[in-house]
Amino acid sequence: MTVPEKAELLEKLKQGGFAVPDFIYVPALEFDTENFADLDNFLGKHREGFKVIARSAHPEEHRFKGGTFDSLETYADVGGIKYARNKIIKLAETSRHLGVARQQRFAHAPELDLRQMGVIVMPFVDGSSVMAKMISNYWEFGYCRDRIHKVQSEPYITRTPHDRRLVQLSKDIQAYLGFRCEIEYIISTDGSIHVVQAKDISKIDTLEEEESQRSISLDGIRRIRKRRNYRERPVYVMDNKTFYINVISQCEEIVGKCTASDISRVIESINAYEAHFEAFALRHERYAVLGLAIQDPGDLYQIASHYLDDIPELQAELSRALHNNLYQIDIFLSEADTLIAKDKFRVNLCSHDAYGIDTVRNPIWTVYWNVDRHESVVNEFKSVGFTTGDTVGIDVGVEERPTVYRL
């Protein structure tokens, strides 16, 4: 049986005397055979907390970037663990599918048999997440997902952690493991430091990118790392206003015939739109999305969804397709490392998205213009002629003011 790197390194750290929470690795075979004696015994020691966390632990997971697969809080019983594993697999097949496919395409990640998905079960520790790694010759600490305070701050990176023990502890862990590693801690409410994950990052490249030029001035940028002030990306121009108008015009043709005619042409156009941006994501390892209209512009989504209300059997099919389309758009956007849109949109960053090792070379940027300038900025982009497939350059000037060039 191949033990995943995640479980192997946790066991090694536990044997080395580091503060790893009690845990158990449950391989896929035990789910197949329903052999839960060890798991049930483990959970029996932690039922007073009512809740545990189940972390994905596939034997090939170390070949994917951190955060590709999910960790879920669940009930401290066998049923809860089975539910969490099934949910982790389901998410890998759906919302994580494009991310997995892109890593297989661009990073030579292997084909996966998701039936081999195991889980690492730990008692739930209430606290904040901190991720540590050595960059060049200094340690950096990323803070995210603070479960303790009601008022939350944006994710941030610092070289000076809130507790100086984190610096020496990180050095000790790296020296003990014998390779450059990324370490995830949970800081509990009483200030205790728990080591919940370590990842070998010794083979991950963090080289810098180059610069270039050309122009629309925007209002600001959100980014965790600020060592780079320029990047170039192929761009996907998203205009969902035009998309919904096209759907409505096709529905109008159906209504005009006064017959419950086949809606397949409308559904095919929706599917073709989704296939277009998924194909774009699979052609480009790193890409930007220019959001001329991302979410429902005005009431167009509602109008499109209910245009066939007088033909209920067709309306239900159309509504399902449009609702699923929103989900597919969200997956596509989550794979972009650069979002150019009005200030209404923010990328919801988890710890790996914000400061994982894979973000050192390519951190997520959100480049925005103020909402009150939306129409004029969209018109500027259209007049300059930005289209899907163009390469854009983003130059961050003084006071964090970005300029976007069509190259």
Structure confidence by residue, pLDDT tens digits, 247-261: 988 888 877 665 555
Give the per-residue pLDDT at 162. Answer: 85
Give pLDDT, residue 208.
35
Where residue 295 falls among pLDDT bands split at 50, 70, 90? confident
Question: Residue 85 corresponds to which tokens in the numbers above?
Answer: 């594993």
For residue 150, the model assigns a pLDDT of 52
| Model confidence band, residue 153 (pLDDT cutoffs 50, 70, 90) | low
Of the listed ranges 85-99, 150-164, 182-196, 225-239, the least confidently predicted one is 150-164
The reported pLDDT for the residue numbered 364 is 82
Residue that wins the pLDDT comparison between 313 and 18: 18
pTM over 0.75? The answer is: no
The per-residue pLDDT for range 63-118, each reduced to its tens digit, is 998 889 999 999 999 999 999 999 999 999 999 999 999 999 998 999 999 999 99
Alpha helices in 151-196 (DSSP H): 165-177
197-201: average pLDDT? 94
Is 225 within 8 Å of 360 (Cβ atoms)?
Answer: yes
How far, in Å, CA of 300 to CA of 309, rounded?
Answer: 15
Which residues are CB-contacts of 150 (< 8 A; sequence separation ≥ 6)?
Answer: none
Residue 133 has phi, psi (to 5 degrees) of -160, 155
CB 352 within 8 A of CB 67: yes
The whole-angstrom separation of Cα 2 and Cα 116 is 10
> Across the chain, how many H-helices and E-strands are there?
12, 17
